[in-house]
Amino acid sequence: MLQSMTGFGSATVENTKISVTVEIKSLNSKFFDIYCRIPRTYSEREIEIRNILTQELERGKVEFMMNVVPKDESGAATVVNRPLIKAYFRDLQATANELGFEPGPTELLRMASMMPNAYNNDSLNEADAKAEWDLMKTAINQALTKCKEFRAQEGKNTAFKFEEYIQNISQLLSEVEAQDPKRIPVVRERIAKAVAEWSSSESFDKNRFEQELIYYVEKFDISEEKVRLKNHLEYFIAELKVASNGKKLNFIAQEIGREINTIGSKANDSVIQRLVVQMKDELEKIKEQTMNIV
């Protein structure tokens, strides 16, 4: 089943000390990009979190947010480093006075609280640290499950669209096949006229004539292109039934486009040209959608 790169999932889990909320949002992207926003207290866990996301989501632009809220004072792993913030505050105030302006105390406090080491992280014992990380992983996995379910549903909807577009191209190909025999008399008349002119000329070259005839036959014949296009369309539908990926579907779409373009260039028929334009329109919709498949 197809997986879309568009997805969203959130989860909240808690124990007696903390509550963990995780949100995961993914969008389509050519590469796999992760934007991680987690409390600074748990920054050492970012690499592990990124590894989990990479393994589970594979591709796309992923925004990850984790918020940890203590349920009581015993669950707070971060405390304000008051002596250091006071020192920052006094130094910032003195600097402002030297520069000749009077800043507001609220702004000074905000700036001081953003300076390095403004908070102390209470170190947890090994058992408590493991319990916290296990709780976080539970929240992450639950959010991932919901995100992947969202992706699967989006992928299912996209697969229906793909089938619709492929069916439209198949119908247009049937019209091309119906029109193909009708253009033959026009081509035959053109060749016959050219033969009459060449044969009446003193410089008529039989060998050259045969070469030109073969050239025209090959130039106007679209039998092979019609067969290959039909095969590519069937292959695309077959890939929708298995766990295919967007890159492979895009490669097949490129092959479909190549056959459509060749039919358009060789047909030399206004009706078929209009049908080719319509096929190209349906194909562009397919290419656009493949960019959102994992």
Give the residue with greater pLDDT, 51 vs 196: 51
User: Nearest-CA neighbor of 273 among 262, 284, 286, 282?
Assistant: 262
Q: 76 falls in which pLDDT band (50, 70, 90)?
A: low
Give the residue with greater pLDDT, 5 vs 113: 5
Give the residue with greater pLDDT, 70 vs 209: 70
What is the model's pLDDT at position 129?
A: 84
pLDDT (mean) for 191-205: 68
Q: Is residue 6's pLDDT more than 70? A: yes
Per-residue pLDDT of 39-58, as tens digits, reads: 877 888 999 999 999 999 99
User: Nearest-CA neighbor of 175 among 62, 274, 294, 50?
Assistant: 274
Per-residue pLDDT of 138-183, as tens digits, reads: 999 999 999 999 999 999 999 999 999 999 999 999 999 999 988 8
Q: 77 falls in which pLDDT band (50, 70, 90)?
A: low
**pLDDT, averaged across the chain:** 88
Phi/psi of residue 23, nearest 5 degrees: -125, 135
Q: Which of 27-41, 91-105, 174-188 has the lowest mean pLDDT?
A: 174-188
User: Nearest-CA neighbor of 53 among 70, 69, 38?
Assistant: 38
Q: Which residue shows structure tokens 């298995």?
A: 242
pLDDT (mean) for 280-290: 96
Domain boundaries, the chain: 7-79+123-153, 80-113, 155-290
pLDDT (mean) for 247-274: 94
Q: Are 248 and 239 in contact (CB under 8 A)?
A: yes
What is 7-79+123-153's CATH number? 3.30.230
What is the model's pLDDT at position 158?
A: 95
Burial class (CB in 10 A: 0-12, 13-18, 19+), 56: middle
pLDDT (mean) for 119-137: 80
Give the residue with greater pLDDT, 70 vs 8: 8
Largest CA distance in the chain: 109
Q: Is residue 121's pLDDT more than 70? A: no
What is the model's pLDDT at position 34?
A: 96
